[in-house]
C-alpha cells in the first residue's frame, strides 16, 4: 500500500507553505526594485548599480567576506589536520568547544569581542598590568581587523568540521603507497592529499563566504562607521532610517545574486565531495600519537590558542556581568546590580526576555509544523517533492536582513498585522530550513513495511501517523524545534527591521545597551542567551541519542 494514503491526510502541499511564507514576500521585495513612480522601470536598479557609493559598498562586502574566509581557512585548516591526524588528551573537549560558535547568536560574538578586545577590555587591562602601560596597546575595535577576528571566531569551526570529517573518511592507501615509494611527507601532502581535499575545502570556504557576506550584527557594531558598511547594513539603513525601501530592494538583488552563485559553488563542491567519499574504502586515515618535540609543541600551541580564542570572549561576558562601577568614575567591583535590574518587576530587560521567549516559542512551533508538512512533500520523491526540496534551500541562502525587509514591506499592505505576528513569521522562515534538514533524514529512513503493516492491521491514516510515524519522528521534531527556539532567541537582523519601541527582544536590547555603553547590563542579558544556547545544545544532543531510526 502506498504512503500517499498517509500523505493525503495533509491537503496543503509543502510547496504552498514555502510559497506563502517565503516566496511571495521575497518576490514582493525584489519586485519593488522595478517600480518607479507606480510604473515598471529599470532606472532605480541602474542608478544603484552605477552609483560610486553603492559600488564601493558592494566591493567592500565582497572583499571583507573573502578576507574573512581566508582568515577562517588559515585558522581552521591546521585544526582539521591536527584533529584528523593525531590522538592527544583533551581532543574530545576541543571538539565540544568547536561547537560553541555554532550555537551562539552573532550579537553574543559582538558583545564578547567588545568586552575582551575593547580598549578597556580584559585583554588590554591584562597587558597594561603586566607591562606597566598607561595606554591600551591594542586598539582593534571598530576596525577591519575586528571584523576579521569576529568572523574567524564565528566560522573557523565550520572549516574544522567539514574538512576534518571529510579528511577522516578519506582513503589513505594512496598516501601510504607514496610514502612506501620514498616520497617525503610534505610532497605527499602537496601532490596527493591536498588535491583530494580540494572539494571539502571549497565546500567549507563557500559556506563561510556566504556567512561572512550576509553578516550583519558584527559589521553593524564592530565596523564602527560608513567606511566599513556592507550591503546588509546598508539595506537596513535605507529601509529603517532613510525609509528608501526601493533602493534597499535594489541592493537586495545584488545580495541575492551573490548568495545564489555561492550556493551553486557549494552544491557543486558537495557533489564532488560525496563522489570522493563514495570512491573511498575502509582504509581510512588512522590517528597516531604525536612524536617528537615539534609535534607536541604544535598541538599544545594550537590547543591553547583555540581555548583562548573561543572561551575568552564568552567567559568575559559572564565575568563582566558580575562587575559594575561602584561610582561613576571608579573601578570595577563585584556587583549583582545588573541582575537585580534584569529581574526587577516592569524592567525593560525583563520585558525583552518575555518577548523573546514568546516569539521563539511561537515561531519554533510554527516552523516545526511547516517543516513536517514540507518533509512530507519531499519524501514522496515525485517532481513536486524534488521542487520543494530545492525551494526549501532558498531561505538558507537568503539573508535574514532580506527576510526582515520582505515582511517590513508586507506590513505596509497588511497593516492589520501586529509586529509580533510579523516577527514570528520572519523567524519561522529563517529557522524552518534547519528544522527540515533535521526531520527529513529521519523521515526518509522510516521503513515502508511499518506503514504497510499498520494499514494491513486496519489502522487508518491518522492512526498510522499517531501510532507509527509520530513516535519515530518525535526525537527529530523536538531537536528541530529546540534548535529553532534557540535561533529565534538570538535573531537580531530581521527583528531589528520589524521591531518597534513597544516590542523589544534580548538581542535588540543587548545592541542598545552596547550602544549606550551599559556593558554590565548587556552582559547580564548575554548570560541569559548563553544559558539558553547551552541548554538547547544539551537537549538536542540528548534527543539525537534517543533517536532510533
| Predicted confidence (pLDDT) per residue in 34-65, tens digit | 877 777 888 889 999 999 999 999 999 999 99
Yes or no: is domain 1-32+336-549 CATH 1.10.20.10? no
121 - beta bridge partners? none
Is 143 in contact with 219 (CB distance < 8 Å)?
A: no
Please list the ranges in the chain whose pLDDT falls under 70: 1-15, 224, 274-288, 326-330, 380-390, 460-461, 501-502, 543-549
Amino acid 445: pLDDT: 79
CA dist 320 → 115, 146, 168, 323, 350 (Å): 7, 20, 40, 5, 19
Q: Do 106 and 218 touch, CB atoms closer than 8 A?
A: yes
Backbone phi, then psi, for 444, in 5-degree steps?
A: -70, -20
Angle, helices 122-131 vs 106-117, to 10°: value is 20
Judged by phi (left if over 0) then psi (alpha if -120 to 50, else beta), residue 347 lies in: beta
C-alpha cell at 486: 534557540
The CA-atom distances, in angstroms, between 435 and each of 230, 265, 361, 438, 539 are: 29, 23, 14, 5, 15
Q: How far apart are CA 480 and CA 488, in angstroms?
A: 12
193 secondary structure, DSSP code = I
Determine the length of the chain. Answer: 549
Q: Is the pTM above the cut of 0.75?
A: yes
Dist CA 148 CA 70 (whole Å) = 9
d(CA 444, CA 152): 35
- β-bridge partners, 171: 284
Q: By the 8 A CB rule, do 255 and 402 touch? A: yes
What are the C-alpha distances in Å from 144 to residues 74, 214, 396? 17, 16, 26
Residue 2 φ/ψ, nearest 5 degrees: -80, 150
- Spans of all domains in the chain: 1-32+336-549, 58-323
Residue 334, beta-bridge partner list:
323
Distances (CA, A) of 445 to 10, 475, 512: 20, 14, 46
Beta strands in 321-389 (DSSP E): 323-325, 332-334
CB 461 within 8 A of CB 8: yes
Q: Could you tell me if 160 and 84 are in contact, meaning their C-beta atoms sit under 8 angstroms apart?
A: no
Write the pLDDT tens digit of every residue in 69-110. Answer: 999 999 999 888 888 887 877 777 777 777 777 778 888 988
* 3-class SS letters over 406-463: HHHHHHHHCCCCCHHHHHHHHHHHHHHHHHHHHHHHHHHCCCHHHHHHHHHCCCCHHH
User: For residue 311, which of 537, 532, 162, 116 has the smallest C-alpha distance?
Assistant: 116
Q: Do domains 1-32+336-549 and 58-323 have the same CATH topology?
A: yes
Cell of 492: 537580531
All 3 cell numbers of residue 11? Answer: 491537503
Instruction: Report the distance separating Cα 160 and Cα 81, nearest Å.
Output: 8
β-pair partners for 332: 325
Beta bridge partners of 382: none
Q: How far apart are CA 147 and CA 418, in angstroms?
A: 35
Q: Could you tell me which of 489, 471, 490, 486 has the C-alpha nearest to residue 541?
A: 486
Q: What is 58-323's CATH number, 3.40.50.1220, 1.10.3720.10, 3.20.20.70, 3.30.1280.10?
A: 1.10.3720.10
Phi (first) and psi of residue 98, to 5 degrees: -65, -20
Contact 472, 446 (CB under 8 A): yes
How is residue 481 written as a grid cell? 524545534
Q: Give the integer Cα–Cα distance in Å for 228 and 224.
A: 7
Max CA pair span of the chain: 82
- 287: DSSP letter: P
Amino acid at each position: 500500500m502506498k504512503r500517499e494514503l498517509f500523505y493525503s491526510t495533509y491537503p496543503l502541499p509543502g510547496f504552498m507553505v514555502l510559497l506563502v511564507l517565503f516566496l511571495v514576500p521575497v518576490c514582493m521585495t525584489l519586485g519593488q526594485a522595478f517600480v518607479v513612480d507606480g510604473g515598471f522601470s529599470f532606472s532605480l536598479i541602474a542608478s544603484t548599480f552605477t552609483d560610486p557609493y553603492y559600488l564601493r559598498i558592494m566591493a567592500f562586502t565582497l572583499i571583507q567576506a573573502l578576507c574573512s574566509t581566508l582568515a577562517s581557512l588559515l585558522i581552521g585548516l591546521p585544526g582539521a589536520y591536527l584533529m584528523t591526524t593525531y590522538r592527544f588528551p583533551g581532543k574530545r573537549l576541543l571538539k565540544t568547544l568547536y561547537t560553541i560558535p555554532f550555537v551562539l547568536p552573532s550579537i553574543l560574538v559582538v558583545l564578547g569581542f567588545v568586552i575582551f578586545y575593547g580598549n578597556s577590555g580584559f585583554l588590554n587591562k591584562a597587558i597594561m598590568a603586566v607591562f606597566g602601560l598607561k595606554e591600551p596597546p591594542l586598539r582593534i575595535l571598530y576596525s577591519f581587523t575586528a571584523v576579521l577576528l569576529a568572523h574567524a571566531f564565528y566560522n573557523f569551526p565550520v572549516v574544522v568540521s567539514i574538512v576534518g570529517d571529510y579528511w577522516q573518511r578519506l582513503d589513505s592507501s594512496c598516501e601510504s603507497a607514496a610514502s612506501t615509494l620514498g616520497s617525503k611527507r610534505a610532497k605527499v601532502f602537496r601532490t596527493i592529499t591536498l588535491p583530494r581535499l580540494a572539494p571539502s575545502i571549497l565546500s567549507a570556504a563557500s559556506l563561510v563566504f556566504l556567512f561572512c557576506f550576509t553578516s550583519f550584527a558584527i559589521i553593524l557594531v564592530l565596523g564602527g562607521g560608513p567606511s566599513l558598511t556592507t550591503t546588509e547594513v546598508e539595506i537596513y539603513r535605507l529601509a529603517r532610517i532613510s525609509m528608501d525601501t526601493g533602493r534597499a530592494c535594489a541592493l537586495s538583488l545584488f545580495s541575492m545574486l551573490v548568495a545564489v552563485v555561492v550556493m551553486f559553488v557549494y552544491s557543486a563542491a558537495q557533489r564532488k565531495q560525496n563522489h570522493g567519499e563514495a570512491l573511498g574504502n575502509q582504509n581510512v586515515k588512522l590517528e597516531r600519537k604525536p612524536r617528537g618535540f615539534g609535534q607536541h609543541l604544535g598541538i599544545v600551541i594550537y590547543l591553547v590558542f583555540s581555548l583562548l580564542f573561543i572561551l575568552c570572549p564568552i567567559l568575559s561576558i559572564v565575568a563582566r556581568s558580575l562587575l559594575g562601577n561602584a561610582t561613576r568614575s571608579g573601578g570595577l567591583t563585584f556587583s549583582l546590580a545588573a541582575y537585580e535590574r534584569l529581574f526587577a518587576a516592569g524592567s525593560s530587560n525583563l520585558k525583552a526576555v518575555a518577548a523573546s521567549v514568546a516569539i521563539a516559542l511561537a515561531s519554533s512551533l510554527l516552523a516545526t509544523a511547516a517543516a513536517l508538512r514540507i518533509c512530507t512533500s519531499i519524501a514522496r520523491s515525485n517532481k513536486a517533492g524534488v521542487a520543494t526540496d530545492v525551494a526549501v534551500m532558498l531561505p538558507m541562502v537568503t539573508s535574514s536582513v532580506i527576510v526582515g525587509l520582505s515582511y517590513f514591506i508586507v506590513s505596509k499592505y497588511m497593516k492589520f498585522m501586529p509586529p509580533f505576528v510579523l516577527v514570528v513569521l520572519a523567524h519561522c522562515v529563517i529557522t524552518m530550513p534547519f528544522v527540515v534538514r533535521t526531520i527529513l533524514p529521519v523521515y526518509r529512513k522510516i521503513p515502508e513495511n511499518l506503514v504497510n503493516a499498520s494499514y494491513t492491521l486496519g489502522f487508518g491514516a491518522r492512526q498510522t501517523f499517531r501510532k507509527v510515524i509520530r513516535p519515530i519522528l518525535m526525537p527529530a521534531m523536538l531537536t528541530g524545534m529546540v534548535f529553532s527556539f534557540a535561533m529565534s532567541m538570538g535573531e537580531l537582523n530581521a527583528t531589528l527591521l520589524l521591531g518597534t519601541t513597544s516590542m523589544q527582544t534580548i538581542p535588540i536590547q543587548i545592541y542598545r545597551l552596547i550602544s549606550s555603553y551599559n556593558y554590565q547590563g548587556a552582559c547580564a542579558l548575554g548570560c541569559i542567551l548563553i544559558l539558553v544556547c547551552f541548554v538547547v545544545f544539551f537537549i538536542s544532543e540528548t534527543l539525537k541519542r534517543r533517536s532510533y531510526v
